[in-house]
Chain A
Amino acid sequence: MEFEFKTAEDLLKLTKKYDHSISTIAKWYEAERSNKSEGATRTQMKMVRDVMYEAVKKGIKSNQHTEWTGSGGDAHKLFNSLKDLKNMMGNKVTVRAMAYALAVNEQNALMGKIVAFPTAGGAGVIPGVLFSCAEHFHAGKRRLIKGLFTAAAVGLIIAERASLSAAKAGCQAEIGAAVAMAAAGLTEMRSGTPQQCLDSAAIGLKSYLGLVCDPLGGLVEVPCIKRNAIGAMAAIGASDMVMAGIKSKVPFDEVVSAMNNIAKHMSSKFRETALGSLAITKTGNEIKRKLGLKVTEEI
């Protein structure tokens, strides 16, 4: 394959060789791999964007709550706070990004339609960051699609070299990966160089190394939903640092290796089994009892 890449280094070489952005290389990669036209590939990404947009739109209005943990309605609260920002410390872009991220994951928990980008549990970070920032730039739809392709390219590197599954590598592989992907996508939307995109991804992922997957009752609700909102803030922060001229000391490929190293030593209690951390607190066990699950330990 001409546009094959499995590492950030491969990807950087391709961007230099063809003098094009990460998003363009990702688009060409997909067209070549799936034997589709560039146009068809872009159309498919537009569908992804539209589904995300619908989830955001529905989520910020929703006041529905989930059956088991009662999660829900928080996106609506945070979105309403945008009307009066003087009591908020974050600016309009970051607060809106958090509201959108909450919206998507609340919809996920309520069985709404979402894009598992990269996974269902981490589905809020990318639309949160990219949609909120696109609104700020008054960016056209084309620029948003570019951000989505760049985010997917970074996710592909993580999937190739490590994992995007919390059952295998903990939450660092879901929310952590989503933060890295969103940060890179945002940097490309801000016309950062490919190197800057990957530096943003590296700074984002570095900050999420070691995060465990410890959902209450094994449900994709607590703490997953709010972790998406904080992840959106982190991604914007990583991109801001890079756009201010800061570089990542450790290259992205090495950060992915570090993530893999942690995954190898991570106890299965912290990998989506609800047998450790928050899942076995007093509150976690209450949810387990409600679901009729066995309570093994309390911390």
Chain B
Amino acid sequence: MPHLSIFDIAGPIMVGPSSSHTAGACKIGQFARALFHKTPQKVTFYLHGSFGEVYKGHATDKALLGGVMKFRTSDSDIKNAFEIAKEKGIKYEFIKKNLGLKWHPNTVKIVLEDGKYKMAVIGSSIGGGMIEILQIDSFKVHIRGRAGKHLSLVVMHDKSPSVTRAVVKYINSLGGIAVDEVVGQSLKDKTLSVVSMEGRRILLSEVMELEKIKGVDYARALSKLQKQQ
């Protein structure tokens, strides 16, 4: 267990009313947005369990939508998320849905669309503002939304060990970063790899270089979100 920070106790700085139902929800939205990598035209939120039951009173809906628009958990604009989304021309919908028994009570499935692309992200808020991203499209993942030793990178690529090797080789060639672990899941001809790294934060320019590797569809760095309070 890593040592707790004094600021895990004296924090996080957030807009109320609930760390799990507001701050955590916002964070899941941020991750979904980072994975989608662009402003969606349409977002649908499927609210599971307690998220579906009490989302209104805890402003879970506003926080999720705010997160998708890249708001921080402490952003007072979360309150006006609906109005801001309308201004930006983002269509949104909230649907109460039982996603199944295996999910944590505070879980949401977010479907982001922009005409050409569509992505589904499932995340759970596990208490005190901590979250986990557990599924991207049909791929199972396990990404924790809290500062830690490992910084994650999500890479979607052709199902081929040579592509995975090329990705790892490229990251290890960068100064100050080393690949610690790659957890991949393959469906049909595609693999989604979650790459855990140690060392410094990967730069956007380096992530863009990764996307140029043959067989890589996209690469998304989540380190900034994982570090943010």
Hey, which bits of chain A sit against chain B, CB under 8 A?
1, 4, 26-27, 29-30, 33-34, 41, 44-45, 47-48, 51, 67-68, 107-121, 148-149, 151-153, 155-156, 159-160, 164-165, 167, 217-221, 291-293
**Quick check: is B10 within 8 A (CB to CB) of the other chain?**
yes
Q: Name the residue among B13, B19, B22, B23 with the largest chain A CB count within 10 angstroms.
A: B13
A117 and B127 within 8 A (CB): no
Q: Mark B13-55, 1 if CB is under 8 A from A, else 0.
A: 1111111101100000000000000000000000000000110
A107 proximity list for chain B (CB < 8 A):
16
A47 and B13 within 8 A (CB): yes
Q: Name the residue among B7, B12, B56, B129 with the largest chain A CB count within 10 angstroms.
A: B7
Q: A116-B129, A117-B11 are in contact. List 6 more A-B contacts (CB 8 A).
A: A111-B62, A113-B13, A115-B13, A116-B13, A167-B127, A220-B58
In the complex, what residue of chain B is closest to A27 when comparing beta carbons?
B6
- Known interface pairs A160-B4, A165-B127, A219-B58; A117-B9 also in contact (CB < 8 Å): yes
Contact of B10 among A113, A148, A167, A293 (CB under 8 A): A148
A115 and B10 within 8 A (CB): yes
A148 proximity list for chain B (CB < 8 A):
10
- Known interface pairs A26-B6, A29-B6, A34-B5; A116-B57 also in contact (CB < 8 Å): no
B9 and A33 within 8 A (CB): no
CA distance A107 to B79 in the complex (A): 12
B13 proximity list for chain A (CB < 8 A):
47-48, 51, 113-116
CA distance A151 to B116 in the complex (A): 52
B7 and A156 within 8 A (CB): no
Q: List 13 A-B contacts (CB under 8 A).
A: A33-B5, A110-B16, A111-B17, A113-B76, A114-B16, A115-B10, A116-B129, A117-B9, A119-B19, A120-B16, A152-B10, A217-B54, A218-B57
- Known interface pairs A111-B59, A119-B128; A149-B4 also in contact (CB < 8 Å): no
B141 proximity list for chain A (CB < 8 A):
none
A291 proximity list for chain B (CB < 8 A):
54, 56-57
**Quick check: is B74 within 8 A (CB to CB) of the other chain?**
yes
**Quick check: is B216 within 8 A (CB to CB) of the other chain?**
no
CA distance A165 to B127 in the complex (A): 8
CA distance A121 to B17 in the complex (A): 8
**Quick check: is B8 within 8 A (CB to CB) of the other chain?**
yes
In the complex, what residue of chain A is closest to B17 when comparing beta carbons?
A220
B4 proximity list for chain A (CB < 8 A):
156, 159-160
Contact of A159 among B8, B11, B14 (CB under 8 A): B8
A292 proximity list for chain B (CB < 8 A):
56
Hey, which bits of chain B sit against chain A, CB under 8 A?
3-20, 22-23, 53-54, 56-59, 62, 74, 76, 78-79, 127-129
B76 proximity list for chain A (CB < 8 A):
111-113
CA distance A30 to B20 in the complex (A): 25
Minimum Cβ distance to chain B for residue A52 (Å): 9
CA distance A68 to B62 in the complex (A): 16
Minimum Cβ distance to chain A for residue B229 (Å): 9
A165 proximity list for chain B (CB < 8 A):
127-128
Q: Name the residue among A67, A155, A167, A220 with the largest chain B CB count within 10 angstroms.
A: A220
- Known interface pairs A116-B11, A117-B11, A291-B54; A156-B6 also in contact (CB < 8 Å): yes
A217 and B6 within 8 A (CB): no
Minimum Cβ distance to chain A for residue B63 (Å): 9
B18 and A220 within 8 A (CB): yes
Minimum Cβ distance to chain B for residue A190 (Å): 20
CA distance A161 to B13 in the complex (A): 24
CA distance A33 to B79 in the complex (A): 35
A68 and B5 within 8 A (CB): no
B74 and A48 within 8 A (CB): no
- Known interface pairs A34-B5, A156-B9, A159-B9; A114-B14 also in contact (CB < 8 Å): yes
- Known interface pairs A119-B128, A291-B54, A291-B57; A30-B6 also in contact (CB < 8 Å): yes
CA distance A120 to B56 in the complex (A): 17
Contact of B9 among A109, A112, A164 (CB under 8 A): A164
B7 and A44 within 8 A (CB): yes
Contact of B16 among A108, A153, A156, A159 (CB under 8 A): A108
Minimum Cβ distance to chain B for residue A285 (Å): 15
CA distance A44 to B53 in the complex (A): 36
B57 and A219 within 8 A (CB): yes
CA distance A62 to B20 in the complex (A): 25
B79 proximity list for chain A (CB < 8 A):
111
B11 proximity list for chain A (CB < 8 A):
48, 115-117
CA distance A50 to B76 in the complex (A): 15
A118 and B9 within 8 A (CB): yes
A116 and B3 within 8 A (CB): no
CA distance A115 to B73 in the complex (A): 11
A120 proximity list for chain B (CB < 8 A):
14, 16-19, 22-23
